[in-house]
Structure 1
Amino acid sequence: MTILLRQKINIEGKEKKTVKANLEEVLRKLIAFSEDFSYREHESLFAFLNDKDLLEKLTALVKKINGHHLPKTVFVIGIGGANLATKAIHDALSGYGESAYDAERKMIFLDTVDESVSEPVLLHIKTLNKKEDFVVVIVSKSGETLETLANTEFLLSHLEARFGDIRDRTVVVTGGGSKLDLSAKEKNISLVLLPDVFSDRFGAFSPTTLLPMMLYGYPADDLLSGAREVFRKFIGLKENISLETAFAIDEEYGRGHNIYDLFFFSPRLETLGKWHRQLVAESLGKTGKGITPTVSIGTTDLHSSLQLVLDGPKNKITSFVSVHLSEEESIGDSLEIDALSANVTSKSFSEINNAILQSVQESYFKNNLPYFDIILSDISLKTIGEYMTFAMLQTIFLSKLWSVNAFDQPAVEEYKTRAKRALE
């Protein structure tokens, strides 16, 4: 993963001593707690990268559930941090929306509560022939999330109606003492408990993500190896691009740039952008502070929002995320419609995409719009692990610069309480 800043940020001379001391302290904590397998602090989130015992337990559970055959379908019930990392990984590797591959094996996510989601699920259930064709993973740290519990009742009731007892095809990932924990133990359903001190939006390398990934057949260590590589590389005050970009965002935020546009030049990475959006919004939007994250997809959104960016309010900082040029065939030269020169038709889609991106960045530079450029070597578990680690470190550094707690979400709990009362 290559990250380029328009200008070098001088960390040593730019910031006040107290701010630098705070950043040094958080770096020390992240390093120290990366081996804290008791997970007693929020900063222990990177211990998941090195927890061999946990990985062995998850591997054994996957073998117990899957046996010698991968399931046709993995249902993942959860919302927000409980499922976004898993969905980002699956959509990137298997295609998203119109770019999705028509594969026989599927990972189906139940997050929101709407008939447009539930009806296709019911149709899919009819394609399953036996209970070994599927696994259900229920993910909720609190065990209280209304949407997750509603989708759990919905999905399990319909699967039970078709296949009978499906407890051996169900696994729960939750916090100790939650309703889901107690119910799973009572019904003898497979259970993975999360640490008491745990923020699921920082759980990309925790069981909330690793377990459904592994049940589907993705190799967890590919994701973890990319994450470990970036963590080790970006954990000092010098040559730390996560920290440098955090300083760049903070500097532009002080100049009135309060929108952070995550501009992905690959539709397959759209959900990765949504994962990053949640990370930024829920971690940093507190006590009147915060930067609004948006997700744009190239080249599509050049034809919807670029006019505003270039000629509207100068209030955005942009992170361009693209994939290194790959070896592809040329787009071809139609005999019926001669619309492009031979020089263009001899190019691949990747080359055309890259030429457009460079042109857009030149326009940003000309208009003095702040941006940085992230180039992934490819779309793989390893590079996704790299990007997620970079994003989490950047967010933690920004929280320290803005003196907010990156790991809580007090305002979100209010709607959850009101919704439960409304339905009682």
Structure 2
Amino acid sequence: MLNVGCPSDRVSGFTTPEFAGVKKIFEENIKNGLDVGAGVSVFYDNKMVVDLQGGIANMATGSTYDAETLQLVFSSSKVLTGIVIARLVEQGLLNYDEKISKYWPEFAQGGKENVTLLDLVVHRAGVGYIDSHQMTLSDLSNLESLAKILQSQPHNFNGVPTKAYHGVTRGWYLNEIVRRVDPRHRTIGRIVAEEIAPVYDIEFYYSITKKSLYQRVAKIYAYPMVLLPKWMISEPLEPIFDEMMKTDSVTYKTLVQSAPDRSQPQDWNRFEMLNYEGPSYSGVTNSKSMAKLAAIMANGGNPIGNSVTGVLEPTILSKDTYDLVMTKLPETFDVALQTRSGGSMLLWNPELKVGFGYCMNAFHTALSGDKRSLRMLREVVDTVKNLKKL
């Protein structure tokens, strides 16, 4: 267990009385060493009911994980990326059913000629790993040369649509498509910075180039598998972790080989790494911003209002586009994740009108949440169901 238990005064923020149970669990996670530093926020019925931060952002300096702390959220970055793509579809600049080659002619090589935008969005495009080139951090510094690397990669499965998690590469490919269709040739990160973050009063960065901003980013704490305490390991251990040790597996090629310089989790929020956009993994934000995005989606893409000014914000997606992106696809076996997968990664529930955001700087082995977040989420759901009975 991590020897970083903190007193309750290291927890800041608020909960409404009805959701006090979430704070209790959050404090237990920190006191018991399940979390080093973390944030959890919840919107219910378009109102923020939980916004908590606590623990340690950086053990070397002892800095507190507070409302100013930012967190690299890895694959949760894909959610806002997906919203950007949906907005471009709504504007008529993209179509999920079109072949990628319509927007990016050079993409049509190596068995990728028939791959559609939808294939890429739902992880069946066959470009989940790059094995024709060893990706380095310097490759990300020039988007023109990066595009040539990406388009030259042959289809991973000889042109056959196959569900395989595009953990790292999906954002690179989508970023190039977006640059080609946006009238101003902006990247996903630039669109978020101009059209989403300021409009919806959230913090969400796909790249960080200012040291002053980087100083707010929490340090990541992860462990080599052999050193993990038993309580950190999901039981039974998910099959993906065995596959990650096999250098010829799809999983290894996807999550290890394709990472720039084969970086490990604790390396991903180095300042140099965060200089460049990776819209599948490089999102830096906080739980409040995540929960607000989730709340907007739980509200059918409609605004929930600025909590400070009371001004009603614009609709993030029209009803037709929202219904389109919320269409549930059949679950299929994912050869990279080694499990059946489907559905959304961002935690919202339209029926309960709940948006849930949780971020942390200590990484365990569960892929679909672990006891830290799942206990809080259950508490939220149980509280909302009880409130609805009143």
Task: Indicate the TM-score class for this superposition, using the shorter chain for normalisation.
Answer: under 0.3
TM score, norm. by length of structure 1: 0.22
**Could you tell me the TM-score, scaled by structure 2's length?**
0.24
